[in-house]
Amino acid sequence: MTCGGCTILLVEDEFLIALDVQMRLQEAGYNVLDPVASVEEAMSVLDKTPVCVAILDMNIRGSTSLPIAQRLEAEGKPFIFLSGNDTYHLQEKYSDRSVLTKPID
């Protein structure tokens, strides 16, 4: 089963968390691309693969996922953040975005 043909981009640099989120979404019927662990990988995927929504770890490999969020927003695609930390460093522009907190129960 797939949910409306929607493809989800998952950006998470912690392998076990990425695998857990991917498996949970797939078990719920969603089409989830293999997780990517950097801004560069995510941008490359977005260049090649149509996605309808993204889940973005806020802190990835010493950087933030804000460049990915900016691109998705410019393309009119929804996204949510994933974080094990407080959201204090979210730009005001994204303060209204949903944030899934890690660990996910």
Sign of CA dihedral 53, 21, 23, 11: positive
The CATH class of the 7-85 domain is: alpha beta
pLDDT one-digit tens code per residue, 15-71: 999 999 999 999 999 999 999 999 999 999 999 999 999 999 988 888 889 999 999
Q: What are 100's strand-pairing partners?
A: 82
- How many Å apart are CA 65 and CA 59, to the nearest integer? 6
- What is this structure's pTM? 0.86
Can you give the residue ranges of every domain in the chain? 7-85
- Pairing verdict, β 31-32 and 79-83: unpaired
pLDDT at 1 over 50: no
Q: Is the backbone peptide bond immediately before 103 cis, with ω within 30 degrees of 0?
A: yes
